[in-house]
Amino acid sequence: MSVDGWNTLLVLGGIRSGKSEFAESVVADAPTVRYVATAPAGDPEDTEWATRLAAHRARRPGSWTTEETAADPGRLAAVIAAAGPNETLLVDDLGGWVTVLLDPAHQPADDTATIAELAAAVRASAARLVLVSPEVGLSLVPTTPLGRAFTDALGATNRAVAEACDAVALVVAGQTAWLKPAAAPATVPAHAVPAHAVPAQAGPAQAGPAQAGPVPGGPGQAGAPELTAASARPVTDGPDEALPEVLTPTVAPTPAPAPAAAAGPADWAAPTMALPMVATGLVIQPGMELPMPDDYTGPQAVDRLATLDIPGAGLGVLERVVGFAAATQGTATPTPWGAVRVLLLHGDHEGGASAGAVPGESGRRARQARAGKGPLARLAAENGASLQVVETPTSAPIEEGPALTGEEVEAALRYGWRLAEQAADAGVQLLVLAACGAGTETAAAAVLAATAGAEPPAVLGRVVTEHGEFDDAAWMVRCAAVRDALHRTRRSAREAKDVLAELGGGDVAVATGVLLGATARRVPVLLDGPVGVAAGMVSRDLAGQARHWCLLPDHGGRPGVRLAADVLGLTPLLDLRLDLGEGATALAALPLLRSALSLAAGLPVHPALGGGDDEDFTEPEPAGPGPASTELEPDFTEPGRAGPGPASTEPELDVTEPVPGGPGPASAEPEPDFTEPEPAGPGPASTEPEPDFTEPEPGGPGPTTIGPDEPVAPGRRAD
Burial 632-654 (b: 16+ CB within 10 A, else e): eebbbbbbbeeeeeebeeeeeee
Q: Distance (Å, rounded) from C-alpha 456 to C-alpha 12?
A: 53
Question: How far is 502 from 507, CA to CA, in rounded Å?
Answer: 13
Q: Coil, strand, or helix at residue 657?
A: coil
CA torsion 676-678-679-680 (nearest 10°) is: -170
Rounded to whole angstroms, the Cα distance separating 448 from 504 reads 10
Look up residue 214 and give its amino acid. Answer: P
Q: What angle do CA 385, 391, 393 make, to 5 degrees?
A: 145
Distance CA 1, CA 288 (A): 5
Task: Say how far apart CA 200 and CA 215 lie, in whole Å.
Answer: 18
| Local structure of residue 36 (DSSP, 8 states) | E
Q: Dihedral of CA 706/709/714/716: which sign?
A: positive
In one letter, which amino acid is 407? E
| Residue 117 bears catalytic tag | no
- What is the C-alpha separation between 528 and 511, in angstroms, rounded? 12
Name the catalytic one among 399, 408, 582, 676.
582
**Among candidates 509, 541, 514, 544, which has minimal Cα distance to 527?**
514
CB neighbours of residue 576 within 10 Å: 17
Contact 503, 450 (CB under 8 A): yes
CA–CA distance, 297 with 343 (Å, rounded to integer):
28
Name the residue among 257, 218, 501 with its Cα closest to residue 372.
257
CA dist., res. 472 & res. 460, Å (int) = 12
Dihedral pair phi/psi, residue 230, rounded to 5°: -160, 155
How far is 603 from 440, CA to CA, in rounded Å? 42
Active-site annotation, residues: 582
